[in-house]
């Protein structure tokens, strides 16, 4: 199943059984719903990342712990997802938030879940209409089983650099420990490789072509068959990196606790500066 759908493809498709999820969110910005109400894809349902795509934050599990499969299923039914239906998630930030919904639903066991490549901007550029106000769908009946995507624990992430590649999807300055706007300590997991998610995108907010993504990850030591895991601050933009890797034909595991979990544990070492070499 393809990771992405273009705006043109979505415009031309029969969307009768496709649920559209609007996942506008950014760190420190709580205006996602406000922006959704001001204009969204016709029929799209707003998804609150903090409350519907995560459990409450904790030092032990990080800022965006995975919800239980039962909680995710209840949310998916509220969004109107039905058995045998399809899902397209989007945002207005190149998929950096929507990828969390894509990954979670795939993790929950759904296979027909895609990201709208380029999000709302691409839709508008392609001539798609937007509508105002809220959408409250008929409840769905989807059944989620879990286990659809690989997950790393904190100890598995710590050990991965010795057997594979652990990618850090945060901005380079956070990886190097120059700044840390939200988590307890600055730096990165020893042995992790810096791979900011912004490098997955072209200038128009769409994903770079699969061949370019494959080349990017090859330069970071990752290719088909590599054992690879991804983390970020709290498991949100790491999902975007997993999506980009999948688009390049590479399977990757996500570490949900990410740096917010690691940095809250004083027993865990924090490396700073650029990667060796």
Specify whether the CB–CB gap between 54 and 145 falls below 8 A. no
Sign of CA dihedral 148, 76, 98, 167: negative
Would you call 220 a catalytic residue per the annotation?
no
Distance CA(18)–CA(93), nearest Å, equals 22
Alpha carbons within 13 A on the beta-carbon side of 87: 30
The torsion region of residue 245 among left (phi > 0), alpha (psi -120 to 50) and beta comes to: alpha
Q: Which of 53, 232, 236, 239 is catalytic?
A: 232
**Tokens 């349902």, located at residue:** 45
Specify whether the CB–CB gap between 39 and 132 falls below 8 A. yes
Candidates 135, 126, 106, 145; CA nearest to 252 is 106
Please list, residue by residue across 141-161, b when 16 or more beta carbons sit within 10 angstroms of its beta carbon and e when fewer do: ebebeeebbebbebeebbebe
| H or E stretch at 89 | strand 86-90
- Terminal Cα-to-Cα distance of the chain (whole angstroms): 37
Specify whether the CB–CB gap between 195 and 213 falls below 8 A. no
Record the tokens describing residue 1, joined without a space: 């199943």
- As annotated, the active-site residues are 232
């Amino acid at each position: 199943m393809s990771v992405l759908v273009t705006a043109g493809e979505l415009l031309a498709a029969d969307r009768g059984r496709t649920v559209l999820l609007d996942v506008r969110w950014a760190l420190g910005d709580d205006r996602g719903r406000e922006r959704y109400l001001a204009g969204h894809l016709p029929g799209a349902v707003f998804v609150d990342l903090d409350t519907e795509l995560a459990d409450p934050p904790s030092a032990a599990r990080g800022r965006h712990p995975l919800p239980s499969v039962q909680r995710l299923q209840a949310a998916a039914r509220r969004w109107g997802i039905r058995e045998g239906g399809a899902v397209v998630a989007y945002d207005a930030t190149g998929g950096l938030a929507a990828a969390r919904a894509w990954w979670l639903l795939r993790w929950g066991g759904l296979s027909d879940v895609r990201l709208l490549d380029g999000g709302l901007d691409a839709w508008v550029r392609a001539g798609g209409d937007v509508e105002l106000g809220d959408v409250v769908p008929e409840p769905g009946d989807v059944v989620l089983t879990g286990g659809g995507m690989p997950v790393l624990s904190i100890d598995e992430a710590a050990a991965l650099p010795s057997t594979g590649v652990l990618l850090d999807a945060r901005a380079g300055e956070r990886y190097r420990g120059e700044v840390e706007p939200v988590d307890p300590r600055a730096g990165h997991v020893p042995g992790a490789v810096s791979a900011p998610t912004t490098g997955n995108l072209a200038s128009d907010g769409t994903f770079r072509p699969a061949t370019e993504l494959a080349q990017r990850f090859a330069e970071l030591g990752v290719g088909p068959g590599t054992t690879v895991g991804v983390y970020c601050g709290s498991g949100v933009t790491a999902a975007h990196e997993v999506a980009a890797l999948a688009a390049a034909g590479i399977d990757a595991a996500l570490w949900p606790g990410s740096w917010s979990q690691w940095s809250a544990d004083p027993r865990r070492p924090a490396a700073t500066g650029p990667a060796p070499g």
